[in-house]
A and B are shown apart, each in its own frame.
Chain A
Amino acid sequence: GAVVSQHPSRVICKSGTSVKIECRSLDFQATTMFWYRQFPKQSLMLMATSNEGSKATYEQGVEKDKFLINHASLTLSTLTVTSAHPEDSSFYICSAGRGRGVTEAFFGQGTRLTVV
């Protein structure tokens, strides 16, 4: 199957700083990438959908200015958590769609963010 690489796998940052998470499709072009957030022992909640070359579409309740998403190329999308707070600590997972929609969606390894 296709490979999606997410980096870093773990990050600890101080309150008030910003953190960037990268999601790369290694062997295919991903026109669409999705960002999910998962709190401990909970489900994955879709945060936003990003399409290459256009603005991301955010789900209701997700702050656009806090979670900046950039999808500058067909193989890279980034999520930047700005002015991080302890409540932003979570597990963030990206997925990349190959071809039409998400009939083939591949997930990254996830990033565990801890804000201290």
Chain B
Amino acid sequence: AQKVTQAQTEISVVEKEDVTLDCVYETRDTTYYLFWYKQPPSGELVFLIRRNSFDEQNEISGRYSWNFQKSTSSFNFTITASQVVDSAVYFCALSAVRGGDKIIFGKGTRLHILP
């Protein structure tokens, strides 16, 4: 079975602070993909990153960075110097080859960046 856990339901930080969104996943597959999506109030899903299970290298893209640790089955997402426009719901997701290639989403973390 596949499962994605985002323990943080809602987070509020003041603008310019750094914030880390946690994601823990479960799968028995050795080949899988992890994703992060942003969902602003408009509802559209904005793709942020995809990482395959064989690539544990951390990634940085501007103010965004991701820490993938297979040892703890975690794929955490950090926003540095947060901005009000970062306010949204963020979903971590998992897709495993033997799981039928379906993308399974976590429950999401609602992030509020306060001015």
Contacts and interface: CB of A to CB of B under 8 A. Distances in A.
**A and B part of one assembly:** yes
Interface of A: 1, 32, 34, 36, 41-46, 49, 57, 91, 93, 95, 97, 101-107, 109-110, 112
Contacts of A42: 107-108
A49 B102 contact: yes
A109 B43 contact: yes
Interface of B: 33, 37, 43-45, 47, 50, 52, 91, 95, 97, 100-108, 110
Contacts of A95: 103
B47 A107 contact: yes
A43 B102 contact: no
A107 B47 CA distance: 8
A96 to B, nearest CB: 12
A43 B103 contact: no
Contact of B103 (A41, A57, A105): A105
* 9 residue pairs, one from A and one from B, having the closest CB atoms: A101-B101, A107-B45, A43-B107, A110-B43, A44-B105, A102-B101, A109-B44, A43-B105, A102-B95
A101 B97 contact: yes
A91 to B, nearest CB: 6
A43 B106 contact: yes
Contact of B102 (A102, A104, A110): A102
Nearest to A41: B110
Contacts of A46: 102-104
Contacts of A36: 105
Given A32-B101, A41-B110, 11 more contacts: A43-B91, A43-B105, A43-B106, A43-B107, A49-B100, A101-B95, A102-B101, A103-B33, A106-B47, A107-B47, A109-B43
Contacts of A104: 50
A99 B102 CA distance: 14
